[in-house]
Amino acid sequence: MKKIECIIKPFKLDDVKNALTEMGVTGMTVSEVRGFGRQKGHTELYRGAEYQIDFIPKVKLELVVNDDLISKIVETVQKEACTGRIGDGKIFVSPVEQSVRIRTGETGEDSL
């Protein structure tokens, strides 16, 4: 079981979600984040003074899935979230040792 963390451009969320559900992913958790990276921020104007916004709004997608699905999911997300323009984001995969479904207490694969 592994966790796939994807940081993507907000407006790509729908496409990615749809693509994942089509390939049978049944669950994921999403959160609003702000990113800093190669894609430098922009300057804003406030009452005559300019200032730098370093952090750009991004969306973070977390899914915990069985190992066999990993490559397929990573591939899909990469394909769907890609605009080719700087700031598209990242995908990180990390180990998960245990999973529980709160409602039923099921653990492991069945809990996903």
Ligand X SMILES: Nc1ncnc2c1ncn2[C@@H]1O[C@H](COP(=O)(O)OP(=O)(O)O)[C@@H](O)[C@H]1O
List of residues contacting its own copies (CB under 8 A): 2-3, 6-8, 17, 21, 26-38, 54-55, 58, 60, 64, 70, 74, 77-78, 81-103, 105, 111-112
Question: Of another protein, its own copies, ligand X, none, which one does residue 50 interact with (CB within 5 to 8 Å by kind)?
Answer: another protein
**Minimum CB distance to its own copies smaller for 7 or for 69:** 7
Question: Of ligand X, its own copies, another protein, none, which one does residue 11 interact with (CB within 5 to 8 Å by kind)?
Answer: another protein
Dihedral sign for Cα 30, 31, 32, 38, please: negative
- Of residues 66-85, those binding ligand X (CB under 6 A): none
Dihedral sign for Cα 88, 77, 34, 49, please: positive
- Contact call for residue 55 and another protein (CB under 8 A): no
The alpha carbon torsion through 104, 106, 2, 91 (nearest 10 deg) reads -10
CB 58 within 8 Å of CB 7: yes
